[in-house]
Amino acid sequence: MSFKPRRRRLLAGSAAVVLGAPALARAQGPITLRFQSSWPARSLFHEYARDFARKVTEMTGGDVRIEPLATEGGMPASDLLDAVSKGALDGSHGLLHHHYGRHPAFGLWAAGPAFGMDANLLLAWHRYGGGRQLLARLYAAIGADVVSFPHGPMATQPLGWFRKPITRAQDLRRLRVRAPGMAGEIYAGLGAQAVAMPPAELAEALRGGALDGAEFNNAASDRELGLAGAAKVYMLQSYHQSAEQFEILFNKTKFEALPPKMRAILEAAADAASADMAWKAIDRCSEAHARLRAEGQVRMLKTPDAVLQRQLASFDAAARKRADDALFREIQDSQRRFAERAVRWQLDTQVSPRLAYGHYFETKPARRKGK
């Protein structure tokens, strides 16, 4: 599905106020942007959307206000791109893989191994390696009148929650596993049956046997969804979504009608929210991880390297299916060139935390003489 191109016009309502100088905006009252997140009101992800909105208000001194609706009070996440592009909403907070059905290249910001990059390196490619320009072309290719700010690097997502340990790739054969978009193709390449299912339904589906395994995102969100009570084996580490980030989306016509100062503030707020989200996620996810370990009801296991290796091959096979798509191939080639030097730099310069962690938290006290 694509959007019909339309002439740029000044939109009524909240955007009309921002066409003048900030002083005019203050005289007419604060600008309120119509904004919706892709998440339930009580979720950690909607909290991230509210954090961005708060930063915009603080950085503009209250001249711009964003009060993001949650999904309970708005429309489904799958409809947000249409709504923002057509001007029914001024902006949204979600994920690039939500648009995977419009073009498979959106999956390159969301799924797969990203040639060894983590989410922060992928955002570096986006900002300085040509990704921003390629994403703008991708949106133009589907006729979407939007401006996108990928932000908020996520930690490597787990392989998922299962009833039994996954010790080899063959263990995934014929299992019904919840996984969206290109991530689902990676699971399918290992013989699993990828199932599309809303996050809120995952725990009940696991308990009732409609699913054999489920992945969502992180320990904190997985606890929110009740996955720890539905399956007791938590397989950590995976390449199906190892470098994902969030997306702040604005209607392009409306965004470009803003004064340069206001556009710069919105972009800077996205960057500030990105850093803050990364730090908050470390706090929340590590706390949830520690609780899972302390409760002792869940077996936390590292996904075997043999399974990870098969995931790499599965992603390559999924990417080869798009070999005739010139834009998909151009985006992937750009990522590959950036990753070759960025990942090499990271591998050569970053010291592993494992030795220090073992020294401070796992080394047994020396035995006293005579004991």
Residue range 65-69: mean pLDDT, rounded: 93
254: left (phi over 0), alpha (psi -120 to 50) or beta: alpha
Residues 6 or more apart whose CB falls under 8 angstroms from that of 221 comprise: 43, 44, 45, 199
Alpha carbon 109 to chain centroid, angstroms: 8
pLDDT of residue 336: 98
Residue 171, domain member (yes or no): no
Query: What share of the chain in percent tops pLDDT 70?
Result: 90
340 within a domain of the structure (yes/no): no
Please report which helix (H) or strand (E) contains residue 235, including its range.
strand 233-236
pLDDT at 366: 57
pLDDT above 90 covers a percentage of the chain that reads 84
Q: Residue 367: its pLDDT value, please?
A: 59
* Residue 99: predicted pLDDT: 95
Q: Is residue 34 part of a domain?
A: yes
Q: Residue 242 phi/psi, 5° resolution?
A: -100, -5
Could you report how far apart the first and last alpha carbons of the chain are, in Å?
Answer: 75
Q: Which is it for strands 160-162 and 91-95: parallel, antiparallel or unpaired?
A: unpaired
Count of the separate structural domains present in the chain: 1
Strands 160-162 and 233-236: antiparallel
Report yes or no on 55 lying in a domain. yes
Domain of 110, in residue numbers: 13-154+243-283
Q: What is the CATH classification number for the domain harbouring 24? A: 3.40.190.170
Each residue's pLDDT tens digit, 177-236: 999 899 999 999 999 999 989 899 999 999 999 999 998 999 999 999 999 999 999 999
C-alpha angle 40/2/111, rounded to 5°? 55
When the pLDDT of each residue in the chain is averaged and rounded to a whole number, the result is: 90
CA distance 324 to 240: 23
Integer Rg of the chain from CA:
22
pLDDT given for residue 2 in this prediction? 41
Q: Which pLDDT tens digit goes with each residue over 92-134?
A: 999 999 999 999 999 999 999 999 999 999 999 999 999 999 9
Task: Identify the pLDDT of residue 14.
Answer: 37
Q: Mean pLDDT, to the nearest integer, of 68-73?
A: 93
In a domain, 120, yes or no: yes
In a domain, 22, yes or no: yes
Give pLDDT, residue 259: 86
Q: What share of the chain is helix, strand, coil (3-state, %, to 5)?
A: 55, 15, 30
pLDDT of residue 368: 56
Give tens-digit pLDDT for 19-63: 333 444 444 668 899 999 999 999 999 999 999 999 999 999 999
Average pLDDT for residues 334-358, to the nearest whole number?
97
Main-chain dihedrals φ then ψ at residue 232, nearest 5 degrees:
-110, 0
SS3 call for 201:
helix
